[in-house]
Amino acid sequence: MQAPSPKGYALRMSAFFGAFFFPLGIYIPFFAVWLNSLGVEPKEIGLILTIPMATRVIFTPFMAGIADKIGDRRLTLQIYCVVFAVTFAMITISDNLLWIALVMAVSHIAQSAIIPVSDSLAMAGTRRFDLDYGRMRSWGSLAFMVANLIGGVVLDAFGAANIIWVMVIGNMLHIIFSMTLPSDPRLNDNRNLSKGANLNWAQLKQFAQLGFWIILFAASFVQASHSVLYAFATIFWQKIGISANMTGIFWSVSILAEVTLFFYSKKISGRLSWKSLLIVGACLATLRWLLFPLELPVSGYFLLQILHAGSFACTHLGMMFFLTKMVDDELSGTAQGLFTMLTGLLMAIATFLSGYLYSLLEGDAFYIMAGISLFGLVLFLIAPMFSLGHINADTVPLDRD
């Protein structure tokens, strides 16, 4: 029997997700456009966009592990949100490329663990109180969608040079809504800050299972296949004559599809296993990237953006359900951090290469992304060949399907 949830747990998590993903909804489609307005070449844009991803690879496991170590995910998120918002705002001091690179590196040390730790806190509500993770997370997607529309309007009305201010101001929402997060349920288990998760080798070596890493790699490859989309889709659409307002709408359509899937995630999880969700996500990602370079009419890109519900959202939900099923709550921050680190590593490599690929191939670079997502699909299909046991905080292994 599930314990009753603390008052407002789901609402507070939903508000935080909305606050976090709003500025991200400006950053992903329009940060490259801002860099382009400064005269930065595609290869250099790819390099700049790689920096925060590389930073996440290095720091995410450590920064996410801190949340498990001290035992208070809310406090950890509050600290990270303040540091990230303040340091990222320094990007407005100079448009020198080295300065921008430095700010991106430093600010994303703190930002690296915000997503895995907040996902871990939300999934704690799912484990303990039978809350609906998808509905909480969907508010982040809705905020992302609204930001896409606002970004398109700002781009048309004020030009690309001013889009950065929407990101900077939006990041301040992190600070405000981190203060309203629910208490970490682990504090109710008679744990204080000095008695957080006592990570030891017996616990950590459980993460060395080959089956676990094959699934992490597979999902990370599928997510990394979005790199050309995130870095150059807006530039590609503008090149083929699609207006900035319409590109904002395209991004919003993709997020609306994602929100719809998240909203019904609890029902979906009752019908589809995490394995099925991951395979569906990889298949739809491959189809999406094969069709993207064809310079379709507007209606065609509407349909392709709807496939974001499959290529991204199915993969994301599949991994959240996988980690919830296979990893104890006390180690969930570490598990989320490992997944984020690996996704960040592959995304960093793919984004760095996307600058070169787009320079050489333009829209045809999406065919390379189709190959990456197809490789992820192959890994998902061979994963059942390897044993996979539940990862326990008490270090006693239990096999689970």
The pLDDT profile of the chain, 401 residues, written as one tens digit per residue, is: 455 567 789 999 999 999 999 999 899 888 989 998 999 888 898 889 889 888 878 887 788 777 777 778 899 999 999 999 999 999 999 999 999 999 999 999 988 889 888 988 998 888 788 888 888 988 988 898 889 889 888 888 888 889 999 999 999 998 999 999 998 887 776 544 334 445 555 666 778 788 999 999 999 999 999 999 988 998 899 899 998 788 888 988 998 898 889 888 888 888 889 999 999 999 999 999 999 999 899 999 999 999 999 999 999 999 989 988 888 877 777 787 788 888 988 988 998 899 889 999 999 999 999 999 999 999 999 998 988 888 876 654 444 44
Q: Is residue 193 part of a domain?
A: no
Question: CATH no. for residue 25?
Answer: 1.20.1250.20
Nearest to 314 by CA among 360, 286, 275: 275
Measured between alpha carbons, how far is 190 from 64 in angstroms, rounded to an integer? 22
CA-to-CA dists, residue 276 to 115, 312, 318, 384, angstroms: 24, 14, 8, 12
Residues paired with 327 in a beta bridge? 391
Strand 398-399 relative to strand 389-390, pairing: antiparallel
Q: Is residue 192 part of a domain?
A: no
Count of domains forming the chain: 1
Give me the torsion for CA of 234, 237, 242, 246, rounded to 10°.
Answer: -40
User: How many angstroms from the chain centroid is the CA of residue 346?
Assistant: 13
Q: Is residue 270 part of a domain?
A: yes
Angle formed at CA 396 by CA 392 and CA 397, multiple of 5 degrees: 75
Q: What is the pLDDT of residue 189?
A: 62
Q: Is residue 82 part of a domain?
A: yes
Q: Is residue 274 part of a domain?
A: yes
Q: Is residue 196 part of a domain?
A: no
Q: Is residue 57 part of a domain?
A: yes
Measured between alpha carbons, how far is 321 from 337 in angstroms, rounded to an integer? 15
Q: List the structure tokens of 212.
A: 């676990």
Neighbouring residues of 373: CB distance < 8 A, sequence distance ≥ 6: 221, 222, 225, 282, 285, 286, 289, 311
Burial 324-349, CB ≥16 within 10 A → b, else e: bebbbbbbbbbbbbbbbbbbbbbbbb
Q: Which amino acid is at 147?
A: A
Q: Which domain holds residue 236?
A: 9-184+202-399
Q: Is residue 345 part of a domain?
A: yes
Q: Which amino acid is at 102?
A: L
Radius of gyration of the chain (CA): 20
| Residue 389 dihedral angles phi and psi, to the nearest 5° | -110, 160
Nearest to 373 by CA among 227, 210, 257: 227
Q: What is the pLDDT of residue 200?
A: 57
